Each structure stands twice: as C-alpha cells, then as structure tokens.
Structure 1
Amino acid sequence: MGKQLFKLILPIIIFTVILISVNPNLTIAPEVQEPTIIGGVVPHHLVAKDVIKDFYENISKKVKPDVIVLLSPDHFGKCVSIGASFITGNSQFHELSIAIDEINKIKSRFNIIEDNASVYLDHGIANHVPFLNNYFKESLVIPILVSPTVSLSIAKEFADTLNNILPLNSLIIASVDFSHYLPKSIEEVHDKKSLRVFLNFEENEFPKIDVDSWQSLYILRSISIKRGYEKYEIIAHKNAQDYTREYLSSSTSYVSCIFEKGKINTQDFRPITLSFVGDIMLDRGVYKKILLNSYFYPFYNIEQAFRGLDYVVGNLEGPITYKKVNFPRDSLRFCFDKDSTKTLQYGHFNIVSLANNHTDNMGVTGIKETKEILKNGNIEFFGEPWDFTNSNIIEKDGIVLVGFNATFPFKLNEVKAWIKHIKESHKDDFLILFMHFGEEYIDKSTSYDSYLAHTLIDEGADLIIGSHPHVVKDIELYASKKRGLKTLIFYSLGNFVFDQYFSKETQEGLIVFIVKNAKNFEFVIEPVSLYQSQPKLMEENEREKFLMNLANRSDMSLRESIKKGMINLTIDYQAH
C-alpha cells in the first residue's frame, strides 16, 4: 500500500522540483486560514472612547484582515442629497488604502457614489480612522455611508453582494450607536429588543429597532451568519449616563460586540418588551388641539420613548367612528375621528384596550366601527366595555392580554370563573389583566380595590395594571397564598392624553415599561407630565419628587425601588 501511494505522489514531487529549479523565486502559496472573527458592532461617539479602544484591541489580537468594511449611518443626509443609497471613499483615504477592486465590483451592482469629503466629514467614519490607522494600517478599507432610506430588500441584496465579493480574510465593522434621546432606564429597555433582533437575526424586525442604522447591523449580521460566524461576545454595553454623575434626560446607548465562528441557540436571549399607559382620550379639547396642529400633536414629545418596543399598550377612552359626532363641551360622551389611528400609529401604539366606560358612547354601531377602523390601521384591541365573557384577548410570545371594565355592574363570581378559565387555558403564559377600576381623583387604592385585585390574582391574573381614576395611584406587591406567587398591582396609571386641565394630578401619568425574560421581570416606571394634552417625560427634579410621593403611598417593600424608578421581580406565573 505504501509503495503504491509513493508511485502516485512521485510525479507531483518531481514536477515541483523542476518548477523550483527553473524559477527559484517561486513559492508555494500557503493555505488561507479562516479568521476567528468576522466582525462586530462598535459605537462612534467619542464619549465612549474606552469602548471603541477595547473593541479594536480585542479584535486586533485575533485577526489581521486583508479587507475591512466599515459601515456607518449617513448622519447628515449626504446620500439623499447626492441621490445614492451608499457613499464610499476612493483611492487613498487619509493614511488608509481603499479596496478599489471590491468597490468597483459593488458599483457594478448598486447606486454607490465615491465621495471622500462626505465620508470623512461623517463622525460615524471619521472617529474610527485613528483606530484603524493604529491597529490595521496594512488592511485595505471600504468605508461606506448607508442611507436611512435603504429598504430591507436592498440591505439584504447588499449583504449578499458583499458576502460574494469579499475575500475570506475580511472584517465587517458596523459603526452604530443604539438608543438615543431618552433616560438610561428607558434606553436599556429598547436595547433589550434591539439586541434580541440583532443577535437572533429576526429579519423583519430590523426596521423597527431603536438604533441609528439598522441597515448596517442587518448587513453585518447577515454576512456573519452566511459565513458561519453566529456566536457572539458582548464586550461592552454602556450609556452616556455612565460617564457623568448628572442625571441625563437625553442620553445615548453604546454596545460593542464581536462575532466568532460557531453556532448559537437563538432561544438563549429572548426578552420581550412592553409598555403600558393609562387613558387616551382624543376628543373635546384634545381634538381641537389636533385640528389646530396635526394628528401627530398628542404624542409629539413622547413617541421616541416607544420606538422599537414589541408591544405598546394604552386604554382607548372612547369609540372611533367613520363620521365623527361633536358633543357639547360639558358632555361626558366621546367620539373620536376616524383618522385617530394616525395619531396612535405615530405614537407607536399597536394594541389598545376597549374595556372601559366610554367605548360604548356611540352604541353597538360605534363599537363595531371602532374595531373595523383599528383593524384597518393595524392596531390590535382587546376587552369589551361590558360583555367581558365574549371579549377579545391577545395571545403572543407567551403573554396573554385581558381587559376588564369594573366600572359597570358585574357579578364577581362570573368574573372569577372567566379569569380562572383563561388561565387554565394558558397555563404556561403570563396573564396581564388591564383593568378599568377604582375611585376617580383619589391617589390611593381603596379596600375594595385591593379586594378585587387580590381576588382576580388568586384566580389566575399574573399582573394587574389599572386605568380609569384619571390620577396615578399606588403600587402594591401582592403575595397570593392560593397560588404561591408574588406579583404587582398598578392601581392606576392616570391620564396619558386628556383635556382635564383643572388639577395638577390629572395632568400627570405613569408609563410602565416591562422587560420579560422567562420568569424574570424588569419594571421601569417613568412619570409624565401633560401640558396642553401633550405628555412628556418629567425633568429630573419633578421626576424625583413624583417618584418619592408615589413610593410613600405605595407598598413599603417597594419604596426604595420606586424611588429609583425600577422594580426587579421574579414572578412564578406558570401553573403548578
């Protein structure tokens, strides 16, 4: 066997010796080794210079790429003004050499313009040049500004093209900052959703996430998966708030992450993000404001807080009809314009509760039209104003949303049986009861409020969130001995959009942001002030005072958490 093998390879050895003797300078090309890292995401704000430096130091020890693709958001709209989807550099880019061959191949397929000035003036590229010079001076670079108008289909096609033309030893870097213009607590909720979509590659969700270039993240992650680099390591996750002791109402979130060879289990990181607000009333004085301004008016100062979340839920305090009826100013009947869905969409609301005492203000026909208009606006709904046993419920991602209006006469035994039946039908799901109940204009729950809430948790509700009283009420941590679980009761979130200008308390509300990761829950509570029917996040001093007052009238065990605006809780909601 050995002699036969030698006879087979002998001609190859002789041929190689002859070649080398004829051309002594000839060398045998070594086999190209697959790099251990395909790329990663890193911020571009120099506030987070330590994060950027650590990122480059980390990857420079592991790879020496032939070509580096640097993807950045087009911050100043240069792509739009030039009329291109992408802008890149040409020839020499400062001390960096451009990968001309690869750029020419891209140009043959896409509307890509070479413009060194536009590329270098954008901090998404410029702030990385010193690091590239320091760590990867020998690599060829393709700096690319990505237009915010690039669609999912174009991003997909662009990723496929890059994957086909880039050499094996390439590095793709997405220069991307995560959540913007919000307090750190809310930005971290947004980041949970953004990271989930990015890391698990939920393709259709990319356009919804709160980052400054979802397209760049999509291109990076698409190529990393195609080449088998699914594993990830998050090197840093910081926020501008981490660099100052002053409270920042407008911050920026920074993530650095690298992708390595190997597979991941997409179920390892599956947080679900939700937010809840109280009463949304779009008639009377609010409607006059809308007519004077636009349908975007009510949520103009707050919509950023809800961008990218999985579920944005509010209590819709009235019917939407095809033909609006204008009631007298002192009437307690409401009727919303058919274009109210534009207002809700602008605020990113994708689910509303109809379980309240105003949904039926235009009768059975009004309820029917409300549901039709909401469906046409791609806004889901749950709950009924009175016939709770036949009300719609929402079941998604292991969460069940149920609405109940307790301001109408009801038989408690029937409600208990109804809640019990829903829970038994969804034993492994988290049941949120959005309940319209409680005395109006007082900021503390009554003994009956507690009795009703406790009873319904005992029967199967895993969390209760209240609306109706027009003011924010206390928060309770309730331990159900019957079910062996501890959970929260938000007795009232107060108004969110309303024209009740007669008191300070009716011009305040509460947003509850929830991150659910299996049985671990983060509740971020952020107060809002309403000015001329426009909610906005409270400034630091006002916020601190509000949370202090809320903490003092809430469950003693929650007081320190409420003052900080964050409650962490494990809820063992699955049936035993």
Structure 2
Amino acid sequence: MKKNFLFFGSYIGINFLLIALIATATQPFQHHRSLASPVSTDTTHVTLQFVGDIMQHGSQRRAAMLEDTTKFNYKSCFELVADELKEADFTIANLELTLAGEPYTSYPTFSAPDKLVQDLVYSGVNVMATANNHSYDKGKKGLIRTLDVLDSLKILRAGTYRDTTEYLNSTPLILQKDSIRLALLNYTFSTNGIRVRPPNVVCAIDTAQILRDIHKSKASNVDAIIAFMHWGDEYTDQPNSYQKSISRLLHQKGIDYVIGAHPHVLQPMETFNDSTKAKKQVTVYSLGNFVAGQANEKRMGAIFRMKLQKIDHKLELSECGYILTWIDKPYKNGKRLYQVVPVDKVKTTPKSPRALYTKKYRHFFQKYNKGVFEYMYDTIDSKWVLTQADSSLDL
C-alpha cells in the first residue's frame, strides 16, 4: 500500500513537472525579456510646500486677543487650511516679523506674540525662512529672541543667525527624509536700512556669499538645493529684471528650486529644464501673503507644492502646482476675525471679493505661468488633484 502511494505521488509529480515545462516553453518571449530587466525598488519620495508672507498687523493681533486677557489664540486663523499644511513632509514659510516680546508692534517694525508661531506649528508649518526686510526690526535683541523661540519649538530655520559661527555651522539647512537630502538657503535684498550689527548675521542677496553657500551645499552630499529669496517690488504682479537675472544666475550655479516672497501679491511660476536637460528646475517669483492685515488682492496667496522622487540615486521633480488661498475677514460676535482658506475647498458667493480675485488670478496664472498648474479639490475623494483644464477658471 505504501509503495503504491509513493508511485502514485511520483506519477503525479512527474506529470506536473511536464506541464510546467510545456507552459514555460510556450510563454511569449516578451515575458522573458521583462524578467531580465527588473523594475528598481530603490525609490523614495518627499513632499514640500511653501507659503508666502507671515505678517502680523495690529488688526490681526486684536482679532487673536482673548477677551479680558493678554493671551492670544491663532488656531482659528489656520484651522481651515491646517489639513493642507500638514500634508507635506516639510511646509516652509516666510516669517516676516520678529518675536521680540512686548510691547507688540506692527508696521513699520514688527514684534508679534509667540503664540502666532506656536499655532502655525500646531497647524503644520515646520520650517521657517527668517531672512527678510523685517528680520532686524528690533535689532540684536529681536533677532536673538526670535531664534530662541523658534529653537524652543524645534522649528527648522534658515536665513538669520546669532553669530558667524552659528551661520557657518548651520548653513545649509539640511531637510532630510529617508535617503533624500535637500539643502535650503535663504536670502533677503534688504533690512529696511537698519544696519545688522556684528556678530549677528542676516543673509543678504550677495552673489559671492551665495556662491560660497552653493559650493558648501554641493559638498554636503545633497540631492537638490532650494533658495528661498526675499526680493522684488511690493504690490507688483510681475517680477522685475533683478529677480529674473538673479533667478537665472542661481539656476546656472546649481540651485534647483527658487521660491520668492516679499511683493505681498502673487507673481508667476515656471518650470524648465536645466542646461543639460537632465533636471527640471523651478522658479516661483512671489507667493503673496499667507496671512496679513492688508486689503484687496493682498489677501490672495498660494501654497506651492512640490513632490520629488528619488529613483536609483537620481532625484526628479514628479509633480508641482499651487493651491490658491485667501484671507477671509468674517465678523463673529461683533469682532473681526482672520481666517486663511483654500479657495477651491471653502466655497463662497460668486460676487464676493474672494471669488472675484480668485477668478482674476486664475486668468493671470493661465496667461503667465509656464508648466505650473492649479490643484483643485476633489470633493468626492476628499483630495487635491493637479489639473490643467480650463474649467479651473470656474468657481
């Protein structure tokens, strides 16, 4: 009985072997070619977002002040955009103010409550670009206290430093996820005529300094270099010749992605191939205001989103686009509030100021952007989808 079972098992095994050999022999040749060229599994991804100017005018501070106290709460300001801010690995903002402590002041020299930055971190911002024309509004004390607060909150930062030693040890700022390493540099055209006193450092748009920082970044074994630039003419929706020439220089010298702020209004965005046509480069001339107490089109901003992927040790820009934002100023219990809203996710009436300026900038970007399109919100799947369709003009 045992012998018969073994023979039967051997018989079945031989037949299965013959069937397998015949099946293998009759497979298309294409199948064997694909086995010879396996798809790489060495792939990593990182998502970055950039937002524009973080301002703090007196009206914003009063709106955030809790009744009968000297405490503040800004969470409601960012609650409608917090999901978007948290979607990226790194969300980078231009901190255009100081945290110099009381007395709190606004234009022309800014000192904001620490709670503003605490609630920005709570809402998803985790990197600050600190070099801008208001970095030194409160002098040495303001610069150092701002950095102290940011460091206490474990916010990554670039652009301003307590002294030269800190600058040399901290530049470039490395943003790392898995095997992807990115260098972030930050520069400003001005400190509004206030002389930066040694040993403090506010990184200026100085080509010699920038070239040194680029060289150091390349030596730091990074996959790409980002420059967050504070530049341009205020309230002008086109880049000036200086912005264009500096952008070209940065790209020629090895900067992959150039992100701009300062004009307080939106300016064009573009992608293009580098001189070797091996890598896609980006320039965003101005992201406008993210939060501010200003009026009209100065209430419009954008979140610029980049998705990068690294395949077999080569980093590529897989996707980029923008989400339009607006600073709403609703009244609640007789008090004006400030709320940053993604315009395609939070609807409004067709003739509201938000709707009119949204339509204006959608036409503007379709006319002047090059290779950069808008993310639209898919209400069915509850996600942002990059679109190139003209229907994006509809509200």
TM-score grouping bracket, smaller chain normalisation: 0.5 to 0.7
Larger Rg: 1
Matched, 1:499 2:278: no
The CA distance in 1 between the partners of 2:90 and 2:49, in whole Å, is 6
- Which residue pairs with 1:311 in the alignment? 90
> Could you tell me whether the CA contact under 8 Å between 1:299 and 1:346 is conserved in 2?
no
- Which residue pairs with 1:548 in the alignment? 363
- Which residue pairs with 2:321 in the alignment? 524
Higher relative contact order (CA 8 A, sep 6+): 2
- Deviation string 1:203-231 (CA, Å, 9 cap, x unpaired) is xxxxxxxxxxxxxxxxxxxxxxxxxxxxx
> Could you tell me whether the CA contact under 8 Å between 1:432 and 1:465 is conserved in 2?
yes
The CA distance in 2 between the partners of 1:310 and 1:416, in whole Å, is 26
Paired AA for residue 441 in structure 1:
Y
Q: How does 1:74-89 map to 2 (within 5 A)?
A: none
Paired AA for residue 524 in structure 1:
G
- Which residue pairs with 1:362 in the alignment? 138
- Deviation string 1:460-503 (CA, Å, 9 cap, x unpaired) is 211001010000001123444388644110000000010012xx
The CA distance in 2 between the partners of 1:363 and 1:428, in whole Å, is 34
The CA distance in 1 between the partners of 2:171 and 2:57, in whole Å, is 25
Deviation at 1:417, TM superposition (A): 2.1
The alignment covers a number of residue pairs equal to 300
- Which residue pairs with 2:54 in the alignment? 280
Structure 1 341/529 Cα, relative in aligned 2: closer, same or farther at 3 Å?
Answer: closer
- Which residue pairs with 1:324 in the alignment? 102
Task: From 337, 341, 345, give the equivalent of 1:536.
Answer: 341
Structure 1 499/524 Cα, relative in aligned 2: closer, same or farther at 3 Å?
Answer: same
- Deviation string 1:507-551 (CA, Å, 9 cap, x unpaired) is 100101221112132113110111233210114774565323212
Paired AA for residue 521 in structure 1:
S
Structure 1 548/419 Cα, relative in aligned 2: closer, same or farther at 3 Å?
Answer: farther
Deviation at 1:274, TM superposition (A): 1.5
- Which residue pairs with 1:400 in the alignment? 183
Matched, 1:476 2:273: no
SS in 1 for 2:56: coil
The CA distance in 2 between the partners of 1:411 and 1:430, in whole Å, is 20
Normalized per residue, the structure richer in helix is 1
Structure 1 480/562 Cα, relative in aligned 2: closer, same or farther at 3 Å?
Answer: same
SS in 2 for 1:301: coil
- Which residue pairs with 2:260 in the alignment? 466
Structure 1 351/517 Cα, relative in aligned 2: closer, same or farther at 3 Å?
Answer: same
Q: How does 1:110-125 map to 2 (within 5 A)?
A: none
> Could you tell me whether the CA contact under 8 Å between 1:474 and 1:550 is conserved in 2?
yes
Deviation at 1:382, TM superposition (A): 0.9
Deviation at 1:324, TM superposition (A): 1.8
The CA distance in 2 between the partners of 1:386 and 1:437, in whole Å, is 23
> Could you tell me whether the CA contact under 8 Å between 1:357 and 1:385 is conserved in 2?
no
- Deviation string 1:104-124 (CA, Å, 9 cap, x unpaired) is xxxxxxxxxxxxxxxxxxxxx
The CA distance in 1 between the partners of 2:124 and 2:367, in whole Å, is 32
Deviation at 1:308, TM superposition (A): 4.5
Deviation at 1:422, TM superposition (A): 3.0
The CA distance in 2 between the partners of 1:336 and 1:342, in whole Å, is 11
The CA distance in 2 between the partners of 1:362 and 1:267, in whole Å, is 51
Structure 1 319/412 Cα, relative in aligned 2: closer, same or farther at 3 Å?
Answer: closer
Paired AA for residue 508 in structure 1:
M
Structure 1 272/288 Cα, relative in aligned 2: closer, same or farther at 3 Å?
Answer: same
> Could you tell me whether the CA contact under 8 Å between 1:297 and 1:534 is conserved in 2?
yes
- Which residue pairs with 1:511 in the alignment? 303
Matched, 1:353 2:129: yes
Q: What is the CA RMSD across the aligned residues, in angstroms?
A: 3.3
- Which residue pairs with 2:234 in the alignment? 440
- Deviation string 1:71-91 (CA, Å, 9 cap, x unpaired) is xxxxxxxxxxxxxxxxxxxxx
> Could you tell me whether the CA contact under 8 Å between 1:419 and 1:459 is conserved in 2?
no
Structure 1 544/385 Cα, relative in aligned 2: closer, same or farther at 3 Å?
Answer: farther
Paired AA for residue 339 in structure 2:
Q
- Which residue pairs with 2:199 in the alignment? none
SS in 2 for 1:339: helix
Greater Cα offset, 359-368 or 288-297: 288-297
The CA distance in 1 between the partners of 2:96 and 2:219, in whole Å, is 29
Deviation at 1:455, TM superposition (A): 0.5
Matched, 1:334 2:110: yes
| Structure 2 runs not aligned, ≥5 long | 3-38, 67-71, 194-203, 311-315, 330-337, 377-384, 389-395
Greater Cα offset, 433-442 or 275-284: 275-284
Matched, 1:453 2:227: no
Q: How does 1:115-264 map to 2 (within 5 A)?
A: none
Structure 1 511/305 Cα, relative in aligned 2: closer, same or farther at 3 Å?
Answer: same
- Deviation string 1:21-77 (CA, Å, 9 cap, x unpaired) is xxxxxxxxxxxxxxxxxxxxxxxxxxxxxxxxxxxxxxxxxxxxxxxxxxxxxxxxx
| Structure 1 runs not aligned, ≥5 long | 1-8, 10-264, 569-576
- Deviation string 1:365-400 (CA, Å, 9 cap, x unpaired) is 211111111111121211128999656432123111
Structure 1 419/567 Cα, relative in aligned 2: closer, same or farther at 3 Å?
Answer: farther
Under a length normalisation based on structure 1, what TM-score does the superposition of the two structures give? Answer: 0.47
- Deviation string 1:253-273 (CA, Å, 9 cap, x unpaired) is xxxxxxxxxxxx996452111
SS in 2 for 1:355: coil
User: What percent identity do the matched residue pairs reach?
Assistant: 24
Structure 1 382/419 Cα, relative in aligned 2: closer, same or farther at 3 Å?
Answer: same
- Which residue pairs with 2:65 in the alignment? 291
Deviation at 1:307, TM superposition (A): 2.4
Deviation at 1:275, TM superposition (A): 1.1
Structure 1 356/387 Cα, relative in aligned 2: closer, same or farther at 3 Å?
Answer: farther
Paired AA for residue 320 in structure 1:
L
Matched, 1:431 2:225: yes
The CA distance in 2 between the partners of 1:352 and 1:383, in whole Å, is 9
Task: From 407, 415, 419, give the equivalent of 2:209.
Answer: 415
- Which residue pairs with 1:372 in the alignment? 148
> Could you tell me whether the CA contact under 8 Å between 2:239 and 2:285 is conserved in 1?
yes
SS in 2 for 1:458: helix
> Could you tell me whether the CA contact under 8 Å between 2:91 and 2:126 is conserved in 1?
yes
Paired AA for residue 327 in structure 2:
L
